[in-house]
Amino acid sequence: MDLQETTFTNTFGEALGPLLVFVRSTYFFEAYVFMPVMTAISIPIFLSLIRCEEFKTSARKSKLWFVMYYSLCFLATNVTAVAFKTLIVEELDYTTHVWYEAFVGPMHFYILSVILSYLWLISQNCGSSLRLYLIVYIQIGLLGGYATGLYRLLNEPLNILDPTSGVSGILFLIWFGIFNWDILRRVETSHFKLMEIANHKSSY
């Protein structure tokens, strides 16, 4: 399909039209193509994450946290591919036009920004104020995740054989809950650091 025959979801998609059409012509937007490729890219990203000095000194060392933090790397790469994929109307999973189709791509880019903020928080020894701003931004994203999980749980059938059904809502709530516990622990750490700075300044 050439540029003239492609319908884009928003003006950003139109601006990237030639690139998107070229990538689409390679069949990269097919899940069986981009998922293995982007998953392979996520592995060196995770390895670089766990080599960071900040990760070594402050991250949880249990296998659970290695799995959870790798899932962020996995999502970062795959959500990137989906974000660009959903800038093309024909790549959306809808049989007819829907009013929110122009927002599907930007929503995935927003999810990507939350994930990247989380990875930055894990890997960098940034100042306490910046850490708190990042934590608030991530928390807003987690609230959106809770809403998605709750919506699926309440509105879709519970079918263990279909991971995209209401069962995924339960998994989402558990998954985001674990991340939220991690975020709350980081809030506590940042709070103590801010108190130490304040006490240090007051001593002058």
Q: What is the pLDDT of residues 53-112, one digit of tens each?
A: 777 665 556 788 889 999 999 999 999 999 999 999 999 988 888 999 999 999 999 999
DSSP category for residue 54:
H
* Residues whose CB is less than 8 angstroms from the CB of residue 160 and which lie 6 or more positions away in sequence, other chains included: 167
The pLDDT of residue 190 is 55
Count Cβ atoms below 10 Å from residue 39 Cβ, excluding itself.
Answer: 13
**Encoding tokens for residue 140?**
């807003």
The pLDDT of residue 198 is 44
| Choice between 191 and 7, residue whose per-residue pLDDT is larger | 7
CA 167 to chain centre: 20
The pLDDT of residue 187 is 78
* pTM score: 0.86
DSSP category for residue 66:
H
Residue 196 has pLDDT above 90, yes or no: no
